[in-house]
Amino acid sequence: MDKYQVTTDTFNRLAQRYQDKYMDLDLYDDTYDLFCRCIDKERAEVLDVACGPGNITRYLLAQRPQFKLQGIDLAPNMIELARRNNPTAEFRVLDGRQIAALGERFDAIICGFYLPYLSQADAAQFIRDASACLQPQGVLYLSGMEGDDRQSGFQESSAGDKVYLHYHDTRLMSETLAAEGFEILDVRYQDSPAQSTLLTRDFFLIAKLHH
């Protein structure tokens, strides 16, 4: 059983429900505001990885309409919703583990709660790929769930919908970022929203590339 495929199938099937639940969630807006403030370029090229229904893209464009936003997600139904919600942005179906295949360089990459669906090894590779895909002084935003990797595993709803969730250690992640030329600008923690099916301690990390 491919845990990534199982998770993608679940998100694809429940895309509309996910949008209804999280599209207007404002709990993380302060972290998106900080991300925007860290980007000096007015017409910055920004990549939204695992964009879902385009909720983060929509917020960023409301704050910085000059941004050139591109979003990717592996669930086609999420991409369809994202296009409807953000007609001025570009979206395509693509695995976040394949951002290097885009063949582009970005001024910033935002990755809102994609890390919970990546193993430790794939998360480390994603940071390496992000470093290669960012312009010098590029900004990277990561959020995920703090915890011991041994807690990771399948979570199943009462309806039988399954996703595989990974916990990450921000200390180890910070070491990987530093090794790839990033300087951490901000890290903060917050309890998961009340509507979450799983109560977690979430982290939000913003870093800038210095090579």
- 159 by DSSP, 3-state: which? coil
Could you give the number of structural domains in the chain? 1
Paired tokens of 73: 């997600």
Q: State the residue for tokens 């595989």.
A: 164
What range defines the domain where residue 9 resides? 3-209
Cβ count within 10 A of residue 152: 18
What CA–CA distance (Å, rounded) separates 40 from 135? Answer: 12
Neighbouring C-alpha atoms within 13 Å toward the C-beta of 96: 31
Percent pLDDT > 90 in the chain is 89
pTM, full prediction: 0.95
What is the number of helices (H) and of strands (E) in the chain? Answer: 7, 9
Q: Find all residues with CB under 8 Å of 191, minimum gap 6, and list them.
A: 199, 200, 201, 202
pLDDT at 195 over 60: no
CATH number, position 73: 3.40.50.150
Paired tokens of 138: 């590029």
Q: What stretch of H or E contains 209?
A: strand 201-209
Paired tokens of 124: 């480390």
Which 8-state DSSP code applies to residue 24? T
Tens digits of residue pLDDT in 39-90: 999 999 999 999 999 999 999 999 999 999 999 999 999 999 999 999 999 9
Tens digits of residue pLDDT in 114-157: 999 999 999 999 999 999 999 999 999 999 999 999 999 999 88
Paired tokens of 51: 């964009």
